[in-house]
Amino acid sequence: MSRLELKPNFTQPDAFYAALTAAHRERSESESERINARLILLLANHIGDQQVLEEALEIASQVVSAPNQSQ
């Protein structure tokens, strides 16, 4: 059974963050949402494992619906 990798697994996290923010720079909110949607689908296709994808969705949903967390 595959599991979602939760330990840090980036080889260059700062470089990825810089590329991600650059992709969104000077974009409208709508364009940024489309970029995010395409990125999610591309990465989901790369992962390919339904169990792993559902685990990721569950974890991501918990963060969004957590009540009154300070940001």
Q: Calculate the alpha carbon distances from 43 to 50, 51, 56 in Å.
A: 12, 14, 12
* Structure tokens that stand for 70 in this block: 């300070």
DSSP annotation of 11: S
pTM of the model: 0.79
Confidence of residue 2 (pLDDT cuts 50, 70, 90): confident
Contact 10, 19 (CB under 8 A): no
For residue 5, the SS3 value is: coil
pLDDT tens across 10-69, in order?
999 999 999 999 999 999 999 999 999 999 999 999 999 999 999 999 999 996 665 655
Q: How far does Cα 54 stand from its chain's mean position?
A: 13
Domain ranges in the chain are 28-59
Give the pLDDT confidence score for residue 71 in this predicted structure. 44
Q: How far does Cα 40 stand from its chain's mean position?
A: 6
Give the pLDDT confidence score for residue 65 in this predicted structure. 63
